[in-house]
Amino acid sequence: MAAPGTTAPSTTLARQLGFWSAIGVVVGLAIGSGIFRTPASIAARVPDPLAMLGVWLAGGVISLCGALSVAELSAAMPHTGGWYVYLREAWGRLPAFLFGWAQLILLRGAVIGGIAAVFGEYFLRSVGVDSLAHPLASRLVSVAAIVVATTVNIRGVALGAAVVGVATVAKVSGLMLMVALAVLLGSDSGASVYNFAGRAPVDASLVGLALISVLWAYDGFADVTLAGGEVSDPQRNLPRSIVMGTMTIVGVYLAVNVAYLYVSPIGAVAKSPLIAADTMTALVGQIGASFISVVVMLSTFGALMAGMLASPRVFFAMADDKLFFKTVARVHPRYGTPHVAIGIAGFLGAAFVLTQTFEQLADTFVLSIWPFYTLAIAGLYRLRRSQPNLPRPYRVVGYPVTPAVFIVAGVGLIANAVWAEPLWTSVTFGIVLAGAPVYWAFFRR
């Protein structure tokens, strides 16, 4: 039964995801491509090692504030669609539709394509092929990975969650092994604590752009809520999995970046798009590069699986809410999954990975999604006033400061992007706002 003041979905999905499966989705989706691909661009924008680590820490604090805040929303409204549901209940159908429109036109294709792009790059690296010299081959491998992830998730949410869980354990173990090797073998491989002592001028506007890349790496901390209608005991399992998963991600990211900078000076990090492979090569030679390439492949494929499990639920929730075409809300008669919505997400991811670079995909995604994240968390204050009797099994720790930190960060991020990249930002926001006339013409009633 829906909580008072909320709208329950008319088409339901089986609640098959337990706590460990949910936390696997949180960690599995967030630790995907970002930690392996974005450090180079972040180091180029913030060429001071301590400042670079500070940006990663800031992104972690912001994400944790968001996780603590969305945990309250997820426990109060544990329905399929997550962020879409929170926007609809707090601000109405138009903002919720624009979120779904952005998901369709920009977001899902960008995130799935971005994750798959890194999978393709490291797959070629693992077999001794330079992905930069063979971009088409890399993209075709990426598309193949998307096809496999789409097929597995159509076959069943439990199967998809099991693959995500195995990949999550493998990737976290591999990353922690790399950190341990850096500590144990780094001094014999040219690593030095003096790499942290370098100082370089930092452009404040570029710090904001670097934060965009960092938040790409942290993104996914609350995407398990998109499949909230399939989580068992959601009032308990959703908040716990979101908060504990995010804390795990922050710890892993800080440790891995310290290892990168310990082994290589920040200038070398800035020139290394495949920094994990280069770090392991420095530590143990080619065998290390092959090992970490396999870890990255598992990591990105696990994140791709988690993304294909969670993200299509937005299209499903919209269609079930009559804000999208009814066909999209169909549930497979045998597998019990929203197969049409999953197929749409897979098609978008393949289209994006064939037409855009990783950096374009990452920046487009973060800039498109953060206005909605900010608006949804701001909805906490509105819902506390408009629906005071809404059952809230979990309440935000540190309210009202905790959500305010996330909101201020979101507004600052958007403002910095508008100032630093006005053309790119205007085009992105223009595409999102183009959904408004579509809503008024076809879905307002």
Q: What are the DSSP calls for 17-76, one per residue?
A: B-HHHHHHHHHHHHSSSHHHHHHHHHHHH---HHHHHHHHHHHHHHHHHHHHHHHHHHHH
How large is the greatest C-alpha to C-alpha distance in the chain, in angstroms?
Answer: 68
Phi, psi of 62 (to 5 degrees): -60, -45
Q: Please indicate, yes or no, if residue 12 is contained in any of the structural domains.
A: no
Q: Where are the alpha helices (DSSP H) in 191-323?
A: 204-218, 234-263, 266-270, 275-284, 286-310, 312-320
What one-letter code names the amino acid at 426? S
Let me know if residue 206 belongs to a domain. yes
- Residue 307 near residue 145, CB atoms below 8 Å: no
Contacts of 13 (CB under 8 A, 6+ apart): 80, 157, 229, 230, 316, 331, 336, 337, 338
What pLDDT was estimated at residue 1? 36
Helix (H) or strand (E) holding 428: helix 422-433
Query: Has residue 347 been placed in a domain?
Result: yes
13 domain residue, yes or no? no
Copy the structure tokens of residue 108.
């899902």
Domain count, the chain: 1
Amino acid at 287: I
Within-domain flag for 251:
yes
**321 in a structural domain:** yes
CA quadruple 209, 265, 301, 61: dihedral positive or negative?
negative
Q: Can you give the C-alpha Rg of the chain in angstroms?
A: 21
Yes or no: say if 90 and 376 are a contact pair by the CB < 8 Å rule: yes
User: Which among 304, 363, 262 has a CA at the least distance from the CA of 41?
Assistant: 363
The pTM score is 0.81
Domain membership of residue 11 (yes or no) is no
What is the extent of the structural domain holding 72?
Answer: 19-389+401-443
Task: Tell me the average confidence (pLDDT) per consecutive run of 10 residues in the chain, 445 residues long.
Answer: 45 69 80 81 92 94 94 89 91 92 75 80 78 79 88 76 78 90 86 83 83 85 78 85 92 94 92 87 86 82 76 78 80 81 82 71 74 95 93 92 95 84 83 90 81
* Residue 240 tokens, joined: 């716990």
Element (H or E) spanning 136, and its range? helix 135-155
The residue type of 358 is: F
CATH value at residue 227: 1.20.1740.10
SS3 assignment, position 307: helix
Are the C-beta atoms of 363 and 73 separated by less than 8 Å? Answer: no
Residue 434 lies in a domain: yes
What's the confidence (pLDDT) of residue 431?
A: 85
Handedness of CA 419, 424, 224, 316 (dihedral sign): positive
Cis ω for the linkage preceding 400 (within 30 of 0): yes
* Block residue for tokens 């066909």: 327
pLDDT at 103: 78
Instruction: Report how far residue 312's alpha carbon sits from residue 340's, in angstroms, rounded to the nearest whole number.
Output: 9
